[in-house]
Amino acid sequence: MAGFGSGLFWGAVFGGIAGLMNAPASGRETRQNLKDFVDQTTEDVNDVRFKVDNLRMAIERLTKEGLSSAQTASEDIQLSLKHFQEETQPRMRRIKDRAERLQQSIEVNIENFNEIS
Model pLDDT, residue 85: 85
Instruction: Give the integer Cα–Cα distance in Å for 37 and 31.
Output: 10
Residue type for position 73: A
Instruction: Give the integer Cα–Cα distance in Å for 40 and 66.
Output: 38
Q: What is the pTM of this model?
A: 0.41
Q: Give the mean pLDDT of the chain.
A: 82
Give residue-wise pLDDT tens across range 11-33. Answer: 877 777 777 667 676 768 877 87
Give residue-wise pLDDT tens across range 37-51. Answer: 888 888 988 888 999
Instruction: Give the integer Cα–Cα distance in Å for 94 and 41.
Output: 78
Give residue-wise pLDDT tens across range 92-108. Answer: 888 888 888 888 888 88
